[in-house]
Amino acid sequence: MKRVCLSWSGGKDCAWALMRLRDDPDVEVVKLLTTLDNDYDRINMTTITRRLLRDQAGAVGLPVREVDLPSPCSNEEYASIMGKVTEGLKLKGITHVAFGDLYLQDVREYREKNLQGTGLEPLFPNWKLDTKQLSREMVDNGLKAYIVSVDEKKLTPDFVGREYDARFLDELPKGVDPCGENGEFHSFAFAGPMFHREISVQPGQRFERNGFWYADVYPDD
């Protein structure tokens, strides 16, 4: 039995990876792993706050290992921090770390390199899935997410804050990956077959920072 920690960005791809891992009888997903930006207390490249991250962890029924990173964070600092994290995971009996990546070979090689010598093996449950087909499959199977950031070089501001649904996919410009694998957009997953309950949230105001448009996501309470 593979005891797996899933790298969790809060978006739809890692949520889909969780579902696929849970469908594998040889896998037990025991923990989520998330890095957060110390300056903003949010998951990197998104508006997903620590509270929303914890809401997701509760909704999927898994503990989350939160890793706070300084901003900026040098490669040396990152390696030191993550080295301690992976050591702790191994001591808890975890054998694998899973990632939601789809097809970027350089990203996969980077992840594999970072795990070399840790005693932990990488898993890529979404690897090489056709993103055009996968995007529709996600929507058709009830995965719900809001778009929380977009790269302004790839998408106009009106795409941020929208729900990831069939209309969103239909309106994506040519050349934009429907899963945003090239960094065109990031999402916050709040419902779907991998969740035990839906997280009640709504998108808020849009704002621009460092070449990206963002939309806050607020709990409905």
pLDDT, position 51: 96
Do 88 and 176 belong to one domain? no
Do 46 and 147 belong to one domain? no
- What CATH number is attached to the domain comprising 18? 3.40.50.620
Do 97 and 165 belong to one domain? no
Burial of 187 by CB count in 10 Å (0-12 exposed, 13-18 middle, 19+ buried)? Answer: buried
* Angle in degrees, CA 21, 25, 28, rounded to 5: 55
pLDDT, position 38: 87
Which has the closest alpha carbon to 188: 13, 64, 7? 13
> Domains in the chain: how many in total?
2
Show which of 89, 123, 157 is a domain's final residue: 123
Mean pLDDT by 10 residues, the chain (221 residues): 97 98 98 94 91 97 96 90 96 97 98 96 98 98 98 97 98 98 97 98 93 94 69
Do 117 and 159 belong to one domain? no
Show which of 102, 123, 144 is a domain's final residue: 123
Burial of 206 by CB count in 10 Å (0-12 exposed, 13-18 middle, 19+ buried)? Answer: middle
Do 114 and 32 belong to one domain? yes
Do 56 and 160 belong to one domain? no
**Beta bridge pairs of residue 203:** 217
Show the domain range for 32. 2-123
Do 45 and 119 belong to one domain? yes
Do 141 and 117 belong to one domain? no
**Beta bridge pairs of residue 98:** 6, 123
Do 156 and 178 belong to one domain? yes
Show which of 105, 123, 141 is a domain's final residue: 123
pLDDT, position 64: 98
Do 102 and 185 belong to one domain? no
Do 44 and 116 belong to one domain? yes
